[in-house]
Amino acid sequence: MARELDVIVIGWGKGGKTLAGTLARAGWRVAIVEQSEKMYGGTCINIACVPTKILIHDAEQHRGNGADADYFNTAVERRDELTAKMRQKNFSMLDDLDSVLVLTGRASFTGAHSIKVEGGDEVVELSAPKIVVNTGAVPAIPPIKGAEISGRIHDSTTLQHAELPKKLVVVGGGYAGLEFASMFAQFGSEVSVLDRGERALKQEDEDIAAEVVSALNDAGVTIITSASVTSLSQDAHSATVTYDRNGEEHQLHADAVLLALGRTPNTAPLKLENTAVQLGDKGEIKVDKYLATDAEGIYALGDVIGGAQFTYTSLDDNRILKDKFLGEGKRNLEDRVAVPSTMFVTPPLARVGLNEDQARAQGLDIKVATKKVADIAAMPRPKIVGDPRGIIKFVVERKTDQILGAALMHVDSQEVINLVAMAMRAGINASTLRDSIFTHPSSTEALNDVLGSFK
């Protein structure tokens, strides 16, 4: 079979595994390569989305004071049990298909349509007319003295497998950094976040960012802005972070340090120099709107192409290649609009489209509706579950009444944002959404109230 392959998929992420299964069921002879048996199913179920959200959920249920190692370890055990089951299920979903060859090892290109897979002492050579790269991304390590992942200095993967720190310093105030800060603070750690920006979450409108910061402060997180880290050091007992703030040197000491400064496309091991594939400035594989590279027959999808690094956009990449290989070949990246996202602090911040600052910078004539969750009488669910914090904000084009964007920070916002995004894609205007009938008590019914309060 290996000599008669139709396609090779490198990497078991959401887009790659879904495409591999679809093509196999359509009669294609497929090989899928994953570098480690611990990563069957991809980053999402093994080290990112699923395991971190399990820990976030259990952290939110923690009612004790101080760092409770036993409670944390119980949460870790639950995480590991679930991810192991999901990993085995993902493996079986492809390995059980007769037309799929599963290989575990590190893949690298040896030519335009050929690769070798190295696993231990074994080397397997494969070739196919089509090769799909789905190798994801890895944590970015900054060029800072002492910034090496070892001992007490962690990335987002290793920290999950360390002891619960009594004191944690998070370097980076982006989505991942603040999610981990929120989570560990609720587990009882004393958490400080070092953010280079003049204010936290500078990509968000100031009123939204302030609400997030307030919730983090409630959990005990200290955010230090305008902080530029200059070095890290550690010994057997603690780690030290040295940073510059407004020209003055400061230090923080902690049991653990998390480097949360984004993720870099995982292309280095692929030896793409043996192909015509081109890379961008950040190491991402350059593709056209149909996910084709500059090398004929080589495609890429998911985090390895840069841009928004979400499991659900990787899944949508799969739909583009499915249409190219099995359909009309019309679907492409330009079809993708109103893609929502969620930062899982407590309560979560979900958003889609333009914020107010962006809309005004574009010169758009807008109207804005903003309400604190605690002030929304027709939204009892957050009060029922005991967390009425948060804010809801909509940005709407005044003339057409079309929704340009929204930011929702409240209980269940990660669900409600999907309804808003769908309304935007379908061209459903703000008034129609305002007058829709929603279940009660729910978080969704806040839309009835907020969308009737434009200024």
Q: Which sequence positions are flagged as catalytic? A: 440
CA distance 298 to 287: 10
78 near 57, Cβ under 8 Å? no
Q: ∠ at Cα 37 (36, 40), nearest 5°?
A: 95
- Residue 224 half-sphere exposure toward CB, CA atoms < 13 A: 19
374: left (phi over 0), alpha (psi -120 to 50) or beta: alpha
- b/e 128-161 (16+ beta carbons within 10 angstroms → b): bebbbbbbbbbbeeeebebbeeeebbbbbbbbbe
Q: Hey, CA dihedral for 242, 243, 244, 245, is it positive or negative?
A: negative
For residue 1, the cross-strand partners are: none
446 near 376, Cβ under 8 Å? yes
CA distance 135 to 13: 7
Q: Hey, CA dihedral for 83, 89, 90, 95, is it positive or negative?
A: positive
CA distance 427 to 397: 12
3-class state of residue 280 by DSSP: coil
- b/e 111-127 (16+ beta carbons within 10 angstroms → b): eebebbbebeeeebebb
Residue 71: how many CB atoms within 10 A of its CB? Answer: 18
Place of tokens 């179920």: 45
CA distance 50 to 136: 16
Q: Which residues, in sequence order, are CB contacts of 426 under 8 Å at separation 6+? A: none
